[in-house]
């Protein structure tokens, strides 16, 4: 099943990425999935964009031994 997003007036790539995933870095994947709109800076209302699956994001601010901490003891 393909996920889509219908733009609202004034949407931008980074704004849409943040709305969908909470991370503006998803913008690159979003743009790649909608190459026909690559030159768009500000979207008009009603443009249908394909939304690719969001990659799993692991915190890069935590050391490897802290990632997932607390999962074993039910926290």
Query: Is there a contact between 14 and 27 (Cβ–Cβ < 8 Å)?
Result: yes
Coil, strand or helix at 5: strand
Q: Is residue 59 part of a domain?
A: no
3-state secondary structure of 14: helix
Residue 54 exposure: Cα atoms within 13 Å on the Cβ side: 16
What values do phi and psi take at 15, rounded to 5? -65, -45
- The number of distinct structural domains making up the chain is 1
66 in a structural domain: no
Q: Give the integer Cα–Cα distance in Å for 63 and 61.
A: 7
Domain region containing 45:
3-51
Query: Which band of pLDDT confidence, cut at 50, 70 and 90, is reported for residue 57?
Result: low
Does residue 8 lie within any of the structural domains? yes
- Indicate whether 41 pLDDT > 60: yes
Residue 71 has pLDDT above 80, yes or no: no
Residue 19, in any domain of the structure:
yes
70: pLDDT strictly greater than 60 = no
């Amino acid at each position: 099943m393909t996920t889509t997003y219908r733009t609202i007036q004034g949407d931008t790539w980074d704004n849409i990425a943040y709305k969908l995933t909470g991370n503006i870095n998803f913008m690159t994947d979003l743009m790649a999935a909608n190459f026909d709109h690559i030159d768009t800076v500000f979207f008009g209302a009603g443009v249908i964009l394909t939304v690719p699956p969001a990659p799993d994001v692991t915190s890069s601010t935590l050391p490897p031994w802290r990632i997932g901490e607390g999962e074993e003891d039910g926290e």
